[in-house]
A and B are shown apart, each in its own frame.
Chain A
Amino acid sequence: MLGRTRSEVEIAVSWLLVAALVAVGVVGLRSGADATTTFAFLSALLAAAPALLTRERRATLPWSVVGLAVVAAVGQRFTPFDVVSTYLWVVAVTLILVVDLEAFTEVEMSPRFSAAFVATTTMAVGAVWTVLRWASDAFFGTSYLGGVDPVMWELVGATAVGVIVGVVFEYGFHEAVDEGVERRLGGGERR
């Protein structure tokens, strides 16, 4: 669990994890930019957004959330479990987004709602991703989608990952995430 006081070590770890996301992106660039590369840079940017926008080095995200993104990114790029990793990554980025939304907009979520938000967003990304790949297959002659079975199992997997990780993280870390954001951005900085 995240402690109440966030030490310099935790902040450093969080920054190192952001650097790891950038590294995955850079490795991707070397072998030709693709969707994974873009996603790596995007997740690094979202994770660094609180610090960048407040110009406060200490305004990092909880290392557990950024860490999940790194595990997923590495898994997606370098292991055979790329499909599950992709959705784990989507979940991680949604969690990062929840923290960013709570920090910078008027959005406020209860643990229950943010678990539901994370799960449904992961499922929705699965749907959009399916539509995009189908459109590409139908109009540009690619063959991303194998058939009904692989597509459906992928959606089942996305749903399972979204629900499980959403619930575990929100109930385990929501308060810590909230506190962290509140404290480090400071009353005046938080809009």
Chain B
Amino acid sequence: MTVLTERLGIPPAYQRGTARLMQVVLLGIAVYGVVRGQFGLVVNGTLPLLITFLPGVLRRDYGLPMNAGLTLWVTTAVFLHTLGMIGLYDAFGWYDQLTHVLSGSVVAGSGYAVTRALELHSDEVEFPEEFVYVYMFIFVLAFGVLWEIMEFSTEVAARVFGGQAYLAIHGVRDIALDFASNGAGAVVVALLVREVRTRFPAALAREMDE
């Protein structure tokens, strides 16, 4: 994510500011939901808002290197999802795929970080570089399945206990396209990481050491 700062010349302060702005909007959506008594809006404002604090918590509590760009990346992914929930998913057919490519890329990034960290810190585990790229793809698809199961379970719960599902599945087409977009996001990140690692091996090693 140093790409944003070093290559595009966007100062970290602007990146942080943009992320902060999105958090404010998410909070606004949640508050609006509480005021209007729309539980769905509360859930879709609060949960993503909590996720946006994750990079900060990981940096503070676990000392993991999380810079402004990374926070912005995660925040953008959940922010676009929430905008989708309050209308854009229904308004544009392609919007769902956009958010899934983005969230797929976030999950792929986390998958890469986790497998890399595992290999660096554990003697029992060892992966060649190529294996990690393949595993990122597997990780993202599996995460997508977990996500759909979560959506499905809210639907089943709604059927059993009555009420309305807060994360709806719109059909088989939706499921298949979600998986495909997640996978596309994973491939994009795998190619990017590979490119960066072969071009700037020193920079990445530095970032890992920080």
Q: Which residues of A contact B (CB under 8 A)?
A: 101, 105-110, 113, 117, 119-121, 123-124, 126-128, 130-131, 134-135, 137-138, 145, 147-148, 151-152, 155-156, 158-159
| 5 contacts across the A-B interface (CB closer than 8 A) | A109-B125, A127-B183, A134-B176, A137-B172, A156-B152
Number of B positions contacting A (CB below 8 A)? 30
Given contacts A106-B126, A108-B126, contact A152 B169 (CB under 8 A): yes
B141–A151 contact, CB under 8 A?
A: no
Further pairs besides A134-B173, A148-B175: 18, Cβ < 8 Å: A107-B128, A108-B124, A108-B126, A109-B124, A113-B118, A120-B138, A121-B138, A121-B142, A123-B146, A124-B138, A124-B141, A127-B144, A127-B179, A130-B175, A148-B169, A151-B172, A152-B148, A159-B146
A176-B209 Cα distance, complex, nearest whole Å:
36
The answer to the question of B157 belonging to the interface, with a C-beta cut-off of 8 Å to chain A, is no
Contact A105 B131 (CB under 8 A): yes
How many angstroms between the C-alpha atoms of A108 and B173 in the bound complex?
Answer: 38
Nearest A residue to B182 by beta-carbon distance? A127
The answer to the question of B32 belonging to the interface, with a C-beta cut-off of 8 Å to chain A, is no
Closest chain B CB from A101 CB (angstroms)? 8
Main secondary structure of the interface of A (DSSP, over half): helix
Q: Which residues of A contact B198 (CB under 8 A)?
A: none
Beta-carbon nearest neighbor of A153 in chain B: B152
Contact check: which of A119, A120, A147, A159 meets B172 at CB < 8 Å? A147
The interface bits of chain B over 137-157 (1 if a CB of A lies within 8 angstroms of the residue's CB, else 0) are 111011011101100100000
- Contact assessment for A120 and B142 in the assembled complex, using a CB-CB cutoff below 8 Å: yes
B179, A105: Cβ atoms closer than 8 Å:
no
A122 to B114, CA, bound (A): 19
Q: Is the CB of B145 within 8 A of A123?
A: yes
In order of increasing CB-CB distance, the 4 nearest A-B pairs are: A134-B176, A124-B141, A120-B142, A110-B124
